[in-house]
Chains A and B, each alone.
Chain A
Amino acid sequence: MSGGVRRGLFLSAAPFLGGFLLWGMLGLPGFGRYPGPYGDVLNRVAIRERHVTNVTTSVNFDYRGLDTMGEEFILFVSLAGLSLLLRTQRGEAEEGAPDCASGRAVFPRSDAVRWLGLGLTGVTNLLGLYIVLHGQLTPGGGFQGGAILGTAAMLAYLAAGYRAFRQVSPKFLVELTEAAGAGGYVMVGLMALLLGGAFLENILPLGKTGSLLSSGTIALINALVGLEVSAGFVLLFTEFLQETRKRKE
């Protein structure tokens, strides 16, 4: 399609799109005016009912725990699909370094990247663990902390290269962790069923509000999501790194 036709198409469609958007936005509730009762009710009862201080986490992993389970499996299934698509096919031998495309000069890492990466990896890991474990107490939780932990693994790659990255994240262990995180979520739900409750009902003792071991299954599911997301990030990164290997015809 030539540039002129494209521009004509855009100019004739833009007023309609813009008009629809404006029409839709004019029907929105006023800025900062929350119309539904659900959030207000939860703000009043969640701390008393679930012994959490971060109500958002109680919604994610308890009140709407089923929705979050679905979301977690979106991540799980897309990663499974990625591993399947990028797998080494039978009879396909691979050669060459895993993290270097053919025809590209290998630039040595500068000392600045090496030391900064080394220094940041430990701190980032610690921050990630902190965010995961305090999911029911302060903002953040398994998803946010898991993403930070995944970033820490990438920093290890930046600092020390592919071999060291694989040493700190053996693929079998990473895959096992990811599967355990996803499967564990469902197991927690099934345990509640076995004990005569509803699926994903909060069956564990709730503990003292504000302590690390409070909120019952919320803290447990939160930690499992942390495992799933961090291992998922590492798996995604590993698959991408391996993809540069040349296929032998």
Chain B
Amino acid sequence: MRPTLVSRTAVIVLAALLAACNSSSSTSSSSSSSGATSGTVKIGVDLPVSGADASIGIPTQNGAVLAVEEANKNGFAGGKFKLEASLLDDAVQGKHDPNAGAQNVKTFIADDAVLAMVGPFNSNVAKAEIPLTNDAGLAQISPSNTNDGLTIGDDAKKLRTAHPDTNAYFRVCTRDQKQGQTLAQVAVQRFSWKKAFIIDDNETYGKGLADVFDAQYRQLGGTVQGHEHITANQVDFKALLTKIKSLNPDVVFFGGNTSTGGGLIRRQMADVGMAKTPYLGGDGISDDEFETQAGTMANGAYMTTAAPDAAKLPTAKTFVDAYKARFKGDVGPYSANAYTAAKIEIAAIEKAITDNGGKMPTRADVLKNIAATANFDSPIGKQGFDANGDTTNGILTLYKVQGGKKVVVDTIVVKI
């Protein structure tokens, strides 16, 4: 083979990779300029709603859609304005994609009628979006991002370089510091799993959660036998699992999503003779896709979600009934969170319209109102945000897969 052909091929392969990573979407924008006394107000919703992420993305999107529909039915802003949800998908080739998310946010920013947005679902997508919403002053509430670096510490500062003093990013779920801590407590104290092997998918969310679990697990007296990172699009985990089996851990911990390997690893544990070893993970493997991909091996897996189990919560009953009536299906683990996020934004927009004398408010007005949210009654409890944009309402749910279905083991309240 001639070297020139090799180098040419390399260039082409790179070009193809770049092309595969890029995808653009565009929507027409009908704008209502600031100051108008009627028109359309939009809430942007950016979630992964196709491919492997769809099983969790679509019920989440439905939550936001329900909130918007209810607001219109109840006479949004005195009936003068019409509220609309602008729905975009950030999955490319079946998987959440930061570039696609950033592109979607640019679409929202370019549309003057969009006053706030719900999303994204995944932490690595949030990393690409926060600098854009921070720059544009567009308020953004995520139903499900749990990575600590999005709101805390130097990582968060780097995301807010355009306006370091203002924060436009909020979330209604508990962050990974709390989730990882809870998972470590579950492993050590509840189940007495003293030896763990940790795997993560090397993404923002997965590695972040695994690192917190790693540190907390050691602190509680557990032994971490190893911590490995898998690579994107990997399908063969037999070598890794053979190695793990030889160490005979009490539990295998996975930090990541079903779509990034969480389901396949669990399935292949049977092939190397680890069918009896428990499997523990965070909210990334709490989607229904996990049971499909892991097959019968899904049984015996445990996972938390950074949300209460809406189906069991008395405060969520009205929401759950309305959701079932509207979408003819069960609520997803993050439906209530997305509903709450949209509700907070709708309330903030309504207040801004009233304060503006019934005229179309600015994004800054809406952002100010969202940041001031406190004691907001929602299906998932009293919501509020601290200075970093984190929720003041810390609830996690621990699930176990049994007979191919997730059952609630416990609801855990954490101190913020």
A binds B: no
Chain A contacts to B: CB under 8 angstroms: none
Chain B contacts to A: CB under 8 angstroms: none
